[in-house]
Amino acid sequence: MLFRNCRLITPWEDRANGWLRIHGDEIAALGHFQAPDTHPGETVVDLDGLILAPGFVDIHCHGAGGGKASDEQGIATMARFKARRGGTAFVPTRQSVEPEWLGLVEHFRQEPPHGALVLGAHVEGVYVNPVCIGGLSLERSRSAYKEGELDDVLARFRDTIALMTLSPEIPGGPELIRTLVANDVVASVGHSCVTWEEFQAAVSAGLSHATHLFNATRYGYPPPERGLSRARLDEMVMLTDDLTSEVICDGAHVHPIMLRLALKAKGLTRISLITDATFTAGLPEGRYARDDGEEVYARPDDVCRSVKDNRVLGSNLTMDRAVRNAVRLMGVELRQAVQMATINPARVTGMSSRMGSLEVGKEANLVAFDERLTVRLTCVRGVVVFDPEDRCPPCVHRRVVD
Ligand SMILES: [Zn+2]
Ligand SMILES: [Zn+2]
């Protein structure tokens, strides 16, 4: 299959008059000007000058399009919805190490749903400091790690769990980090009021990522005296080059000034855009019921709020909007915003040799969008899964989601 007449964002380069050829599920060749002659019987997709970029990778999402990461139907719904918004891979996120859930994620990792690929599970905050619980559940959290207690889970699901978000300051925190890292699970700090000493111990133990920078962080104990300055997790993460981090770029969870500060401190290669979205992301403005019975109010350009007391209960962000917001709020070029939504998160999860950029030999996970960042076509492993304008003729390479 040959895509031609497009502006290619690789994301290291942004050049007009591009073309890209797919063979099977991989990128076979790409270039500029002079598109190659088509092979006999080859499917040709003319993109009319649209931007062609690597598909978006969301490493932190609890739901989308009405689907929840907690159940089979929900993950399948998320996969279809994400494809419609240019997503080609995602990491279902939940506060759980239950074998039933991890088994479900593993099932989708082995047998991809129709739409975006499932890369693994993000276990957010089973081992979490109750003081920084944020939107997580106290009942589902454990306030200490005892050596060996995850051994059975890791023996079965070490390849399934991509990331685990934890508070390093809980008893056994450094031991937990060492155990995760020994099992190739990314240890990420979040929902934490760690002190500098605890933080340094955690980094020595193998901590490598920070979950939703600036959200659900507090000062460690003792709290700062009036008139004295102290550092909290956010500053520690920004200071430490070894750590990558993620931000919720919806313009509400993090003030644009903080986004710019994070970019200045971490540099372009160490920030990933995430949605941290709940199931209402992408749904029309209105009231919806959560599984726990709580009624929420969702509006696409705002956070998800409790109807009862207006408190924040998650984001309604989608990755295409996160990229658009990054350009507007962080002041970066489109190419750089795409980088933070593709190769950076792919690197965090160890997937960058397979996906995240337009390079020969990588999976053909692609998104085509216009200058306003409206997604017009999505392709996952060489199959066009979203194509509302019928740019791709009916063929074996086209199987669109409903
Ligand atoms: Zn969180
Ligand atoms: Zn989350």
Could you tell me the distance, in angstroms and rounded to a whole number, from the CA of residue 191 to the centre of ligand 1? 6
How many percent of the chain have pLDDT more than 90? 92
Q: How far is the CA of 28 from the centre of ligand 1 (A)?
A: 39
Q: How far apart are the CA of 81 and the centre of ligand 2, in A? A: 18
What digits encode the pLDDT tens for the residues 353-380? 999 999 999 999 999 999 999 999 999 9
What is the reported pLDDT for 175? 98
Distance 93 CA to ligand 1 centre (A): 10
Contacts of residue 40, defined as CB under 8 A and 6 or more positions apart, other chains included, come to none
Domain ranges within the chain, ordered by starting residue: 2-52+361-386, 56-348
CA of 137 to the centre of ligand 1 (A): 10
Interhelix angle for 99-110 vs 72-84, to 10°? 40
Based on its alpha-carbon atoms, the radius of gyration of the chain, rounded to whole angstroms, reads 21
CATH of domain 2-52+361-386: 2.30.40.10
CA–centroid distance, 31 to ligand 1, in Å, is 41
Can 2-52+361-386 and 56-348 be said to share one CATH topology?
no
Helix or strand (DSSP H, E) at 345: helix 343-348
**For the chain, first and last CA: distance in Å?**
22
In this structure, what are the phi and psi dihedrals at residue 199, rounded to the nearest 5 degrees?
Answer: -65, -45
Query: Averaged over 272-288, what is the pLDDT?
Result: 97
Distance from the alpha carbon of residue 93 to the mean position of ligand 2, in angstroms: 7
Q: 368 C-alpha vs ligand 1 centroid, how far in Å?
A: 30
Q: Could you tell me which residues come within 8 angstroms of residue 338 by beta carbon, excluding any fewer than 6 positions away?
A: 9, 11, 53, 54, 323
CATH class of 56-348: alpha beta
State residue 221's pLDDT score. 74
* Distance from the alpha carbon of residue 370 to the mean position of ligand 2, in angstroms: 29
Q: What is the pLDDT of residues 77-120, one digit of tens each?
A: 999 999 999 999 999 999 999 999 999 999 999 999 999 999 99
Find the 395 Cα to ligand 1 centroid distance in Å: 42
Which of 120-129, 213-222, 236-245, 254-263 shows the lowest mean pLDDT across its residues?
213-222
Read out DSSP for 143-156? S---TTTTHHHHHH
Taking only the tens place, the pLDDT of each residue in 141-157 is 999 999 999 999 999 99
Cα of 276 vs centre of ligand 2, distance in Å, is 5
Instruction: Identify the pLDDT of residue 181.
Output: 98
Could you tell me the pTM of the whole model? 0.97
* pLDDT number for residue 56: 99
Residues whose CB is less than 8 angstroms from the CB of residue 344 and which lie 6 or more positions away in sequence, other chains included: 244, 269, 270, 271, 272, 273, 356
Render pLDDT for 195-239 as a digit per residue (tens, 0 to 9): 999 999 999 999 999 999 999 888 877 778 888 888 999 999 999
Answer whether residue 291 shows pLDDT above 80: yes
Note if the bond before 388 is cis, omega within 30 degrees.
no
- Residue 27 Cα to ligand 1 midpoint, Å, equals 35
The rounded mean pLDDT for the chain is: 96
* For range 329-344, the mean pLDDT: 98
CA of 57 to the centre of ligand 1 (A): 18
Residue 347's contacts (CB-CB under 8 Å, 6 or more residues apart) are: 244, 356
pLDDT given at position 229 = 85
Burial class (CB in 10 A: 0-12, 13-18, 19+), 303: buried
